[in-house]
Structure 1
Amino acid sequence: MRNQTITKSLVDGLEARATEYSVWDAKLPGFGVRVRPTGSMSFIVVYRAGSGRSAPFRRYTIASVGKLAPEAARIRAKQILGKVVNGIDPANEKARERGTATVGELADLFVRHHADKKLKPSTCSYYRLLVETIIKPAFGSTKSDKLSRAAVSRLHSGMSKHRVNANRTLTLLSGIYAYGGQIGEVPEGYNPARGIEKFKEASRERFLNGDELGRLGAALQEAETVGIPWDVDNGPNSKHVPKLKRVTIVSKSAAAALRLLVLTGCRLREILHLKWEYVDFERGVLFLPDSKTGKKTVVLNAPALAVLAGLERIGPYVIPGDNIEKPRSDLKRPWAAVSTRAGLQGVRLHDLRHTYASFGVGGGLGLPIIGKLLGHAQASTTARYAHLDNDPLRRATEKIGAELSAAMGENIYDTAEVVPMRSSDFVPRQSSG
């Protein structure tokens, strides 16, 4: 077929034949329409990859007919042929791009070959959740070497109502791209998540004071003995029918687990997955073969040892589940009942670990010791409790006060009797006028 100007009317009139054939454009050499026996048609460009008659021919498929208008396809063909003039082989470039992993594929490689082998199972589960619910829906089909920092920044900014997940997604994406650079899936150093400012996260530390701990102890005692009462209505039409009184009884092992969280500062899984073989009563320690920071030794105090000694050994785990051969999965229901009864709304189980740390630091034990007791791998992790260590500040201000008082010729520091103030001492005086 002789060359013709490729227009919509020409394309609409093309019919399938027994064999594939092409129609070439009269205006732009190398630009044409390929027609297959099935009737499908595509806009194509044919060119020589190199100079001279020995250079091989390449055929580049622009798009299927219907996805682009003929004029738009001609413009695209001019761009492709312009690359050829500049010594670029567009067909090879496209083939390389086709072989580049998508963001979704790179994320799967990271989870399967890196996270699953080097990170904790709980961390891997969280990463999978972020990949499937956030990263893949946003960028899953994007070529990994085409993802822009602007696109990642828009995703992060759009998650402002969920700042923790937004920041963790940014961290995860950065890790995925660092891994991609190591294995050669993306250029080393290319990381669209780098340099994006994270949201400020409100501190979530919550420490129980002495009064709150007293209420917690009373609620635990009640829960494992007589049970925590709760009301049950007899129905919407039972206005004059007395409410039934029922109670929630917390098992002895669940109550013990809650006490151990307070008395040891351990993480939840360290207590729930604790086996009797890890407990050394003679030395007063727990030898944990694995924890968030690796192998860990927990030094037990006398109350914690007493809690452990009071438990019955009915299986391999200190806190067994319904199947005594497996650990209890969580403490959500007993903690909900106990914390509500104690008036500790909003207090998380992890806050019991913070409470253990706060009492140690407030008692002047020092951050390095507390870090060792908690099993922190880095001193910066323990530093969050630095503001509770007021003993050095107390000594400093007392020394300054004494010197200032002496310089003023007063002996207040040596002679004054310190009297605790009561709330009634702060009642404002009545105005006489």
Structure 2
Amino acid sequence: MKSMVFLVLCLLSGNLLYGQAPYTLGECIQQALHANVDIKRQQVKLDKQAIRVETEKYSRLPDLNLNGTQQFDFGRSLNRDNTYTDVNSQTSSFSLTTEVGLFSGFKTMHSIARQKLELKINRELLEKVRNDITLQVTICYYQILLDKEIAAIADEQIILTREQEEMTRVLATHGKVAESQVLTVKAQLANDELASVKAANTLRLSMINLLQLLELRDTAGFDIVPVALDTLMPLAVSPDEIFAVSEQIMPEIKSARTAVESSQSAIRIAKAGYYPSLALAAKISSGYYHNNDNNPPLDIQFKNNMQQTVYLTLRIPLFNRMTTRNAVRTAQKEREDSRLAADNALKTLYKEIQKTWYDALSAHECYESTRHSVAANNEALRYAKEKYQAGKSTVYEYNEAKMKLANSRSEQAQARYEFALRKKILDFYAGQSIR
């Protein structure tokens, strides 16, 4: 008895381990955000830009270099007394140099500011990619829900047609309808089964699309949790009201505006070429000379040859073949282009919101219309069934009533999920997260 209980527990635990729970919309989004390659690549770009900011900051520090030279002279050469002799010699020299920029037309300051703005742009672009993936997953998720309902309607049509086939056989047995109508119903059943197969294939493809977004390879047992659709109330806000909020929070707008600021910094960097630059440098050097004659010891030569230098380097640009002038003009054109891009981003966002809003409005109107259509076609099918059972109508009339009901139910499902999807996207534009 104990062994049997243990075996049952093992089987149950195995089912729990290997069973795959349906994914909610929020879980699908989190999985896609975690696995998506575009997001990972954008994160790498963000990390690279952070390194550029750090590099630009460190450019204000002085550099420090240790240099060494070993020279071999054969035949006539200069000796340590700066006279020529016909003796082979060796010269070793070492130096420690450092240099720091004191002034460069504020180029370093503006370069740091621009790299920080570019970092901000990359951060917003990362958020934009995340938003795009979120919307793609949401659209696929709702498409699956719609395809499931369409497939269920197709399966219900098969059940109704099979009932019709049985009913027609009984009527034909009693001589109320011709035997040919049984064949007609069989043909209709074959058509309904074909429609069911097509609906199932459409659902399968929608599932694959979502699985690819989630980067999941194990498709066995994958399913999603149905979304509870609230009462389809009319839209309460206008596109302009949604846009007023969206333009302040959408990352594509933030990045476009930041790009304008970055282009302004690029102009300041280019104009720095008009200013003189000043650098402070220092150098400590010494050396050792050796030939076949008597040579002082290494430490004495190093001490005697020690040289310490401090100097300023001033560079005043007079003419550089219009390089700076054209660099400034190019940067100004880039600023103009970034402003146009920012304006275009705003227009694109408004068009997306406006189109989504009117799609939602159209879907809501279609849903209200199909509610009456479904009710009327339900009643028409009931009446057609009664007439058909009494042998007072043909199979074609009954099939037409069935098809009208199926079509109206499909249109109602499409309108319902279309409105729910567009409403959720509009809420997302208004700052609400999708979960």
Kindly name which structure, 1 or 2, has the bigger radius of gyration based on alpha carbons: 2
Name the structure, 1 or 2, with higher relative contact order (CA <8 Å, separation 6+).
2
- The alignment's TM-score, normalised by the length of structure 2, stands at 0.17
| Structure whose residues are more often helix by fraction | 2
- The alignment's TM-score, normalised by the length of structure 1, stands at 0.17
